[in-house]
Amino acid sequence: MSYAIGHIIYGIPYSDDIERNIIKHEGGISSFDEFWDDDMVSAELDKLGFEFVYTGGCDVRSGWCGTQIDEIDECGNINIINLRLTPSDTQKQEVEDKFNKLPEHVKQAADPIGTYIVWGTS
């Protein structure tokens, strides 16, 4: 039996908009629906520094470019006060450096750098 895992990250979560922009830019195509090459997208994401987590029965790619600062799961109660939600200054600088290395077409499609929960499954 699997369960949900919430990865608390500081950085940018992966999104469909980022994927569409990578496919358009790297694949030289005019429309997301026109072409789909998962290997090409995966290779590009690896080069850009995105990390991905298992999502079980879901077809959605779940991940981030940044750093994981904590983790929660659906097994048991969670005292929110004990969660680490704020990155260290070193982590902030590392994420800023990663973000600055991203191509403009990825930056434009990304959510702002911040603290997010990115969901995965066991």
Provide the pLDDT for residue 11.
98
When pLDDT is averaged across residues 99-118 and rounded to a whole number, the result is 95
CB proximity list for 14: less than 8 A, separation 6 or greater:
45, 50, 52, 61, 62, 63, 64, 65, 118
- Of 22-31, 49-58, 89-98, minimum mean pLDDT range: 22-31
Whether residue 33 has pLDDT greater than 70: no
Mean per-residue pLDDT over the chain, rounded: 85
What is the residue extent of each domain of the chain? 4-121
41 pLDDT more than 60: yes
Q: Three-class SS of residue 85?
A: coil
pLDDT digits (tens, 9 = 90+) for 79-95: 999 999 999 999 999 99
